[in-house]
Chains A and B, each alone.
Chain A
Amino acid sequence: MNSMNNIVENIKSELNPENIEIVKKNQIAIDLKNEEVHTALSYLKSQGWRQLTLLTCVDWIKENKFQLVYILMNWDNSVTVQVRTKIDRNNPKFKTIINIYPGAEMYERDVHEFFGVSFEGNPNHEKELFLELWDDIPPLRKDFDPLAYSKKKFDVREYKVDFIPKEGEAE
């Protein structure tokens, strides 16, 4: 736990985050301003967080924000860091991180497809990956209603029942 406090102090002095919390044993979460994310990721990579475990997005529709979450793993001191930042939901744009973590390329395509966040600088981010010929708003946004979509998209099929068992007859 002592080393965790050292790491927290170190990150506080280097990165000046808005908020920093210890989520559980071996896990820290940092909230940053948009423009500080790339500096923070480069710094953390140089400090041993060499692996981008996950890049994902959370839709906070009430605040009208998207939250991008970068999860980094340091295999040598076994500390996971969540780097989080909130971007505007009406104009969801962010700069890519593929020059820092090349493995982010597919995650960024993934987030673009499911949330509609575009990543400037990632050459392929607008190519479709999972959802071919998708024709509605990105599906993991909170205002997308799967039931309404399927009612709009697919016709209601009428089924004819031609066998109704009589009383006493086996079904």
Chain B
Amino acid sequence: MKRQVKLFLGPNHPGMHGNFSVHLYVDGDIVEKARPLPGMLHRGFEKLMERRLWMNNLALIPRICVPEPDINEMVYAMGVETLAKVDVPERAHWIRMIILELARIANHLMAMGGIGGPTGLYTGPNWAIADRDLILDIFEEITGARVYHMYIVPGGVRKDLPKGIEKKIENFLDYLEKRLPEYDDLILKNPMVQARTIDNIILTEEMCWELGVTGIGLRSSSGKPYDIRKVDPYARYEEVEFEVPTATYSDAYTRLTIKYKEIQQSIRIIRQVLDKMPKEGPVRARISRGSALRWRVPKGQVFSHIECARGEYGYYIVSDGSNMPYRIAVRGASYPQGLLGIEKYLPGTRIDDVAIWLDTMGVCAPEIDR
């Protein structure tokens, strides 16, 4: 006998990422229909940004994506610099790369440890959060804030690196490199995690193109290095050497291993940056004469994008030449899989795998529901 039951996953649920809800229609333990229900985290950023000065927006934008706020500052700064034709000092580019890569490591650690939530391996998140805190310590020393830094500004970065921070970053990288094999043993080689993730939750290349999935999802299914850091380099990514890990068969386990490999590559990038960056020089270009509060950005429409931990993240910035943005549209990296993907491809999974689906597809509620 067939009997459909409606089940609510979220907005408050240990397997949910942010205040986001999915209505599941289940028969037995198989999901038959799924309906994403965003809206509980809607803060109206796009409207708010139209009513703030170009510089005031800096305090607002990092809040769009909670686990990795620096990408917002970077795309905003890149877009505004293109419109206003600001040249960023050389040293600022390299400092930005350090910040972005540290943020990527922090996000990947949380996501990789986070698989412990749905699989019941609670040591994973505990370790990952503790190690992420070491990165937040570095951030605090550089920027003065732990989570929302407001550090990357149009024209460069807000201030220079403090003295001796290079040594601290290097120490942290050495520590993390020693620590990573332990994560491998704990999470990736764990038979329980393997049993839950191998050959489970398949993402095909056709699905990626259909929905518009980017990032780890696209790279792990197509086998091609589709990474914006390689394809359309920003900052100074063309001057450092790194590999883009790919795969041709994308199950939940492959996507986890790619996160692990990307942490190793980020460590490699930061080491090269510390080695190659100019040791001194200006870090912030003057964007206007006089007060930044009266600063006007020339007319134009530009889309700027970067590679965040979940895929292509971008802002569409429209200026009509006034002292406030005319319109800013946010392209959240997990928008395609978080709304249409859930509706189309979540049905067919078991209830207990739904949280793994959301975790390994990288669904991040605040950037969908900005």
Residues of B within 8 A of A85 (CB): none
Choose from A53, A75, A105 the contact partner of B340 (Cβ within 8 Å). Answer: A105
Question: Which residue of chain A is the closest to B335 with respect to CB atoms?
Answer: A106
Asked if A168 CB lies within 8 Å of chain B CBs, one says: no
- How far is the CB of B37 from the nearest CB of chain A, in Å? 9
Within 8 A of B (CB), among A69-93: 69, 71, 73, 75, 78, 80, 82, 84
The interface on chain A, measured as residues whose beta carbon lies within 8 A of the other chain's beta carbons, has a size of 35
In the assembled complex, the Cα of A51 lies from the Cα of B327 at a distance in Å of 23
Let me know if B303 and A102 touch, CB within 8 A: no
Let me know if B42 and A56 touch, CB within 8 A: no
Residues of B within 8 A of A75 (CB): 224, 226, 231
Residue of B47, B312, B327, B369 with highest tally of chain A CB at under 10 A: B327
In the assembled complex, the Cα of A67 lies from the Cα of B301 at a distance in Å of 12
Let me know if B303 and A51 touch, CB within 8 A: no
Let me know if B47 and A54 touch, CB within 8 A: no
- How far is the CB of B231 from the nearest CB of chain A, in Å? 4
Residues of A within 8 A of B300 (CB): 23
In the assembled complex, the Cα of A66 lies from the Cα of B301 at a distance in Å of 14
Residues of A within 8 A of B51 (CB): 146
Asked if B310 CB lies within 8 Å of chain A CBs, one says: no
Let me know if A53 and B305 touch, CB within 8 A: yes
Let me know if A58 and B39 touch, CB within 8 A: no
Choose from B44, B312, B335 the contact partner of A139 (Cβ within 8 Å). Answer: B44
Query: Known interface pairs A51-B212, A54-B331, A103-B210. Does A24 touch B42 (Cβ–Cβ under 8 Å)?
Result: no
- How far is the CB of A146 from the nearest CB of chain B, in Å? 6
Residues of A within 8 A of B226 (CB): 75
> 0/1 per residue, A97-120, Cβ < 8 Å to B?
000011101100000001000000
Asked if A37 CB lies within 8 Å of chain B CBs, one says: no
Let me know if B301 and A129 touch, CB within 8 A: no
Asked if A126 CB lies within 8 Å of chain B CBs, one says: no
Residues of B within 8 A of A82 (CB): 301, 303
Question: Which residue of chain A is the closest to B39 with respect to CB atoms?
Answer: A130
In the assembled complex, the Cα of A146 lies from the Cα of B48 at a distance in Å of 9
In the assembled complex, the Cα of A73 lies from the Cα of B42 at a distance in Å of 27
Within 8 A of B (CB), among A25-59: 26-27, 29, 50-54, 56, 58-59
Please list the residues of chain B having a beta carbon within 8 angstroms of any beta carbon in chain A: 38-39, 42, 44, 46-47, 51, 82, 209-212, 214, 224, 226, 231-232, 300-303, 305, 312, 314, 316, 318, 326-327, 329, 331, 335-336, 339-340, 369
Please list the residues of chain A having a beta carbon within 8 angstroms of any beta carbon in chain B: 23-24, 26-27, 29, 50-54, 56, 58-59, 69, 71, 73, 75, 78, 80, 82, 84, 101-103, 105-106, 114, 129-132, 139-140, 144, 146
Query: What are the 6 closest A-B residue pairs judged by CB atoms, nearest first?
Result: A103-B212, A56-B329, A78-B231, A106-B339, A54-B331, A130-B39
